[in-house]
């Protein structure tokens, strides 16, 4: 009985920790970083984009993710929504245009 109680308390603590990290933005930032990096590697392989930074923009109400290519040119776009950032938005068209112009 005591062992069962410890397991239940441990599960509750882990769930609460995940919720706190999610609301604090730690987990969503990591999701945005991983998703954005994979998206760029899959969709723009010739550019060899490398992740530079990720920050929350109150103005856009999304994360702004920044990359650099092999020529040190910087590219950025927004990725959101806030708590599950898997939608790339504003800024992606400029990257696509550059990719078509120089790498296709």
Q: Could you tell me the pLDDT band of residue 104, with boundaries at 50, 70 and 90?
A: confident
pTM score of the predicted model: 0.86
Residue for token digits 């999610």? Answer: 22
Backbone angles phi, psi at 88, to 5 degrees: -90, 135
Residues 50-92 have pLDDT tens digits of: 999 999 999 889 999 999 998 899 999 999 999 999 999 899 9
| Residue 40 token pair | 């760029």
Spatial distance between the Cα atoms of 35 and 87, rounded to a whole number of angstroms: 9
Return the pLDDT at 102.
86
Q: Tally the residues of the chain.
A: 104
For a pLDDT cut of 70, what percent of the chain falls above it?
A: 100
Of 71 and 13, more confident: 13
Q: Quote the pLDDT of residue 79.
A: 95
């Amino acid at each position: 009985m005591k062992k069962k109680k410890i397991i239940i308390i441990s599960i509750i603590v882990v769930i609460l920790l995940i919720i706190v990290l999610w609301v604090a933005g730690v987990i969503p930032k990591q999701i945005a970083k991983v998703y954005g990096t994979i998206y760029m590697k899959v969709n723009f392989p010739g550019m060899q984009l490398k992740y530079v930074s990720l920050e929350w923009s109150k103005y856009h109400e999304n994360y702004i993710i920044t990359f650099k290519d092999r020529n040190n040119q910087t590219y950025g776009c927004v990725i959101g929504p806030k708590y599950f950032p898997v939608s790339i938005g504003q800024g992606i068209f400029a990257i696509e245009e550059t990719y078509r112009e120089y790498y296709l």
